[in-house]
Structures are given as structure tokens and as C-alpha cells.
Amino acid sequence: MANSRPPFYQSTIEKLLLENRCPPCIYGEESKKTYLTWFDIEYYNSLPTMLEVSKNGFCKQHGWQISSLGNKLSTLNQFVANIKLTELKNIKAVLQSNKNGWLGQIWPLSIIFSRRSVNVFLDILIRLHTTKKCPICETIEQGEQMALTYMASFLKEKKGQEIYRKSPALCWRHLIGLFYEVPTEITLLLADIHIEQLQKLDSDFEEYFRKTDYRFSNEPKGEEQLAWLKSLRFYVGERFK
């Protein structure tokens, strides 16, 4: 498969921060777009993709997102459906094996065979009940992680720290993720920056509620009107179509 990650340079970090956008959110989304572009061109019909999807599947969100390709997905979906058919036949065969065999009708062999088939059945269920992420989810996470690595490098420099102090654009999830990538002194710096940010946000909320009082409702509206949106963006992340 072609590399699904778009090029991402240190200058991109600075640009996104100055635009008040969370770099890992943006890069995760760009990685997804690149994957979907290649999926449309090549991946949808490739054997590695078909094997990967047959094992892990797509999550509900991304599965329906690729449904826009329509009948183009027929080869992939037939392959996956046939894999699932084989898996169900295997389950049925295991459950019926001790029931139909003559050894399975004789006590105490019936108990031994029954336990053995149950163990095989449970092994199959464990194998099929995968906890692996869908290929698109995994691609997004890889993009986000790469951005966090670049962010850690960016914040080692004084210039990077100054830029981030002026525009603390990370969402909560990626802020916590970045704590794993940076030394303690940078973690403390980030904590201070975002404490200040959230205290300012709290003041904006107080101002908003003050102006909902009829006594002050005629005062000019300001930044406090967007406090809800800034807060939502911080704990949810960037919004994408």
C-alpha cells in the first residue's frame, strides 16, 4: 500500500497554531482524507485491504462513509461476506461435532468431547471478537501521533513555546496525549498555559451569565458570547464535515 500519511513539517505546526487549530486533530483528519483517496483509487480492490477488512472490519462511522462508493465495493464486500460465511460454518461444525459423533454419545466420553468442543468454540469466539481498530481509525491515530511527535519537538524551542502561549490550540485529548511525549518542565509549562486559558474562559462564562440578567442585557455583546463554543472545541476537538 502507498503511504497514507501526507507530508507534515514543523512550519505546519506553527501555521496551524496561529490559526488556532489543533495540529493533531487536523493531521488525523488529513491522514483520513488521504487514506480515503487511495481507497477509492486502489485499496478497495487490493488483497491486503480485503484481508484486513475481513479481520477487523470498518467501524460504523467509517464503514458507512465509504458506502458512497456503491457497487465499486462489491469485490471487497463479497470477499468479506464469504469469510464470515466460512467462520459461521466452522462454528456450526464445532458445535455439532460431539453431538453427531458416536463417541460423543457414550458416557463419560460425551463429557470429554463436550468440554473439548466448548473450548474450541470459545477459542473461535475470542479470535473473532477482535478489539483491533478499523483501518481508517488506525490511520487517523497514526496521523495524530505523528503530529504529537512534531509538537513535542516544536515545544523544545523557546520560539515554539512563545507561539503556543499566544495560541494554545490543543484540544483536551491531544493535550493529555502530548504530556506523554514531553519532559516534566514542558508539561508544567503546558499546564500553566491551559490553566490560564480555562480561567479566562470561566470569566467569559461569568460575563455571559451576567448579561443574561435583564439589568445588563442591553450591554454590548463581546467574546463571552463564544465561550460555549471555545469550551466545546477544547474538550471535543476540531469539527470536521
Given a cut of 80, is residue 149 above it in pLDDT?
yes
User: CA–CA separation, 5 vs 147, rounded Å?
Assistant: 11
Count of residues making up the chain: 241
pLDDT at 21 over 90: yes
d(CA 69, CA 80): 16
4, 31 Cβ separation under 8 angstroms? yes
Name the one residue in this structure whose C-alpha cell is 459423533: 101
Q: What is the DSSP string of 64-92?
A: HHGGGGGGGGHHHHHHHHHHHHHHHHHHH
Q: Are 154 and 43 in contact (CB under 8 A)?
A: no
- Residues sharing a CB contact under 8 Å with residue 46, sequence separation 6 or more, in sequence order: 1
pLDDT at position 206, please? 95
Cβ atoms 143, 27 nearer than 8 A: yes
Q: How confident is the model at residue 80 (pLDDT cuts 50, 70, 90)?
A: very high
pLDDT of residue 118: 65
Which range is most confident: 9-18, 72-81, 211-220?
A: 72-81
**What is the share, in percent, of the chain residues with pLDDT greater than 70?**
84
Residues 128-141: b if buried by 16+ CB within 10 A, e if exposed: eeeeeebbbbbbbe
Angstrom distance (rounded) from CA 208 to CA 48: 54
Which stretch of 22-26, 82-86, 144-148, 169-173 has the lowest confidence by average pLDDT?
82-86
* pLDDT tier, 183 (very low <50, low <70, confident <90, very high otherwise): very high
The answer to whether residue 78 scores a pLDDT higher than 50 is yes
Give the per-residue pLDDT at 106: 46
* Cα(32)–Cα(214) distance, integer angstroms: 48
